[in-house]
Amino acid sequence: MSEITPDLVRHLASLARILVTDQEVEQLAGELGVIVDSVATVTKAVSGDVVATSHPIPMANVYREDVILPSLTQLQALSSAPDSNDGRFKVNAILDED
Amino acid sequence: MTEITSSSAAVLAGLISSKQVSSVEITTAFLDRLEKLNPKTNSYLHFNRENSLAQAKKADQQLADGTAVSPLHGVPIAVKDNLTTTDAPTTAGSKILEGWVPQYDATVVRKLREASMPILGKTNLDEFAMGSSTEFSAYGPSRNPWDLSRIPGGSGGGSSSAIAGHLAPLAIGSDTGGSIRFPAAMTGSVGAKPTYGAVSRYGLIALASSLDQIGPVTNSVMDAAMLQDVIGGYDPRDSTSLPNSLGSMVQSVKEADVKGLRVGVIKQLSSDGFQPGVKACFDDTIEKLAAAGAEIIEVDCPSFEYAVAAYYLILPAEASSNLAKFDSVRFGLRVTPDGNPTIENVMAATREQGFGPEVKRRIILGTYALSSGHYDAYYGSAQKVRTLIQQDLAMAFTQADVLLTPTAPTTAFKIGEKVDDPLAMYLNDVATIPANLAGIPGISVPNGLASEDGLPSGLQILAPAMQDAQMYRVASIVEKLYMDQWGASLIARVPDLEAL
């Protein structure tokens, strides 16, 4: 059995910035436990001397000339924002008051 | 107007360029049909008649002035709703993006506009392309024109049902683990995933960036080849875009010849786990290819046993990172809880309300796979499996020119049948996932109806990376074998949607 406990689900959800109800935590713990048990088989498939592949087609990083190209205006960039003020994105306080 | 909406894109393009029928007439025929029948299939999330017709008028005007700008000039097309469009909402099937109209066009959308192809609308998908049935769309499932109680495949079930229901002559899909090919198999249409990097991903809302690829969904192999020729090519806005040309897919389809072809059948994807009728269709096609002169070779890919497991570590890991951008700050939904919440409380409340169950499941799974103490065992091992899969495929392609598998283990299942069983849902993509992990091209072509339920089955053709032309060549051979036997394409046998 996997180690996916309700407390671990709560911790992972908070890392992922997703609020979860107690009911969701119970359900997710069960579902993720089954999934993790299944995908954990990959650990049996490989040994230490196999190299990891992060990208399907080998590629070097791509650079371009440092020239100014057209981009979104400030107005366009802000046009979809839920809230903005004085040409900037407006959000709630980042730090708690306490 | 039935003849127009059941014609191939190649035929429609010919009618337009020879000025027998206008782009406005053809676009109108599809708009009339989709406005009437979309309530049955839920293929489209957004469409706008005036906007589509304005684009068709412009295409007709260009022709009147003497210039066809592309081989598909004036032929309308449907676009999956995870590609950005400046003139239509882009939701990716999620509540978190409801009503969002992007500030820029995806490169593929720009290319369609430059090719003077009117956009009919945006098609439904599982939320952020996570799923294989469209049941995880926040806007309700799409339905399969062969049987409206069944799924049209996913995540691109909007595009596949639009094609099979003749609500569009062409469509764009995206394929991370099978989201183009699986829906094509479920609906008797053609769906191609090009080589990774062959089509620009700029403006595609990313699911898993090392796996995502955009491609065509159509009614024929020639239509798919024509569309890949329009949307493919290098794009400086996508750093993973391939700089070299892959040649003309259309030319390759025209040169289709079975002589000397070495066809590989993958041991791990040709025996257990397939519905008997699907397996029978597959065996039948292999026999036909052998009779036509192809050499059939069994190849061994032992690592494929671990492909689904590796995929469901790599995909959630990449998705959990990609979807961090939906943070309620710059665009999309913002939910502010009562009291005096911090921005973190706002983000958590927004993502709780904005994301559906499968998206939450995968983000949390990805967060786990990437967490300290598990990273090497899970994500690291999965990346090593990826290497083994590439090695197995490289070996197989020294023995065979192409590899053939059934596209999917079963025909289309009932809506609701697997929605509460994530693991069962994940296994739908057992045959399609290896191509994404290895970056190679794959196409699904119609492969007859399964005897036990009369529903379409699909044949998948895999080719080495960059050899998309070879894939289209063999797809065309298979399509012709089928046409020779049945006298018409499989899609010609889809039930009359108006009568359902």
Q: Does B439 touch chain A (CB under 8 A)?
A: yes
Question: pLDDT digits over B167-192, tens only?
Answer: 999 999 999 999 999 999 999 999 99
Q: What is the pLDDT of residue B67?
A: 87
pLDDT over 60 (residue B160): yes
Among candidates A42, A3, A9, A5, which has minimal Cα distance to B360? A9
How far is it, in rounded angstroms, from Cα A36 to Cα A4? 8
Q: Does B421 touch chain A (CB under 8 A)?
A: no
Buried/exposed B281-307: b ≥16 CB within 10 Å, e otherwise: bbeebbebbeeeebeeeebebebbebb
Question: pLDDT digits over B342-386, tens only?
Answer: 999 999 999 999 999 999 999 999 999 999 888 989 999 999 999
Q: What is the pLDDT of residue B291?
A: 95
* A45:B465 CB<8 A: no
Q: What is the pLDDT of residue B280?
A: 96
CATH topology of domain B2-264+399-499: Amidase signature (AS) enzymes (3.90.1300)
Among candidates B282, B288, B289, B286, which has minimal Cα distance to B260? B289
Q: Does B383 touch chain A (CB under 8 A)?
A: yes
Domain A6-45 belongs to what architecture? Orthogonal Bundle (1.10)
Q: What is the mean pLDDT of chain B?
A: 96
How far is it, in rounded angstroms, from Cα B438 to Cα B385? 10
* B332:A82 CB<8 A: yes
Extents of the domains making up chain A: 6-45
Q: How far apart are the first and last CA of chain B?
A: 19
pLDDT over 60 (residue B132): yes
| Active site positions of B, annotated | 80, 155, 179
* B346:A91 CB<8 A: yes
Q: In this predicted model, which residue has the larger pLDDT, A81 or B499?
A: A81
From its phi and psi, is residue A61 left (phi > 0), alpha (psi between -120 and 50) or beta? Answer: beta
Alpha-carbon dihedral angle through residues A53, A58, A60, A63, given to the nearest 10 degrees? -110
Among candidates B77, B347, B338, which has minimal Cα distance to B230? B77
Q: What is the pLDDT of residue B487?
A: 87
* B363:A16 CB<8 A: yes
Q: What angle do CA A80, B345, A94 make, to 5 degrees?
A: 80
Q: What are phi and psi of B446, to 5 degrees?
A: -60, 140
pLDDT over 70 (residue B101): yes
Q: Look up tokens 């943070």; give the residue.
A: B327
Q: What is the pLDDT of residue A77?
A: 94
pLDDT over 70 (residue A1): no
CB pairs under 8 A between A and B: 180
Of A8, A31, A59, the CB nearest to B240: A59
Q: What is the pLDDT of residue A98?
A: 60
Q: Mean pLDDT across the stretch A49-58? A: 88
Q: What is the pLDDT of residue A3?
A: 84
Of B195, B306, B360, the CB nearest to A45: B306
Q: pLDDT band at residue A57, thresholds of 50, 70 and 90?
A: confident
pLDDT over 90 (residue A54): no
Of A9, A39, A82, the CB nearest to B328: A82
Could you tell me which residues come within 8 angstroms of residue B42 by beta carbon, excluding any fewer than 6 positions away?
Answer: B124, B139, B140, B141, B142, B143, B158, B161
Could you tell me the CA-to-CA distances from B12 to B75, B112, B223, B357, B418 in Å, in that order? 7, 16, 10, 41, 38
Lowest mean pLDDT of B106-110, B282-286, B425-429, name the range: B425-429
Q: Mean pLDDT across the stretch B219-236? A: 97
Buried/exposed B222-236: b ≥16 CB within 10 Å, e otherwise: bbbbbbbbbbbbebe
Q: In this predicted model, which residue has the larger pLDDT, B56 or B273?
A: B56
Judge contact between B379 and B317, C-beta under 8 A: yes
Q: Mean pLDDT across the stretch B148-172? A: 98
Could you tell me which residues come within 8 angstroms of residue B228 by beta carbon, excluding any fewer than 6 positions away?
Answer: B192, B194, B198, B199, B215, B216, B249, B468, B472
Question: pLDDT digits over B10-36, tens only?
Answer: 999 999 999 999 999 999 999 999 999
How far is it, in rounded angstroms, from Cα B288 to Cα B280? 12
Closest residue of chain A to B372, computed from CA coordinates = A12
Lowest mean pLDDT of A45-59, B20-34, B325-339, B412-426, name the range: A45-59
Q: What is the pLDDT of residue A95?
A: 85
Q: What is the mean pLDDT of chain A?
A: 90
Q: What is the pLDDT of residue B1?
A: 44
Q: In this predicted model, which residue has the larger pLDDT, B499 or B322?
A: B322
